[in-house]
Amino acid sequence: MERTKALTVYVILPCLLFGAVFVAALTKLSTSVSLNQLRLLTTAFGVVMTLIVHTKKDELAKQ
């Protein structure tokens, strides 16, 4: 897979999806989502992104 497609698939799209979920949690679900759940969501996203970047580093580093 070429580098720009790998960046799009493995980094940009998950970040956009996370952003959409986070905004929805803050706006539409703000009464049912606690601060601890938002912190857990952010931490889980960070762990998943770290795993993706670590396992796909060869594809992301291609020139």
The pLDDT assigned to 61 comes to 85
pLDDT higher than 80, residue 62: no
Q: Give the tens place of pLDDT for each residue, 2-53.
A: 888 888 999 999 999 999 999 988 898 888 888 899 899 999 999 999 999 9
The pLDDT assigned to 63 comes to 67
User: In which domain, by residue range, is 38 found?
Assistant: 1-62
DSSP output for the chain: --HHHHHIIIIIHHHHHHHHHHHHHHHTSTTT--HHHHHHHHHHHHHHHHHHHHHTHHHHH--
Residue length of the chain: 63
pTM: 0.80
The pLDDT assigned to 36 comes to 92
Structural domain count of the chain: 1
Place of tokens 């952010």: 42
The pLDDT assigned to 58 comes to 86
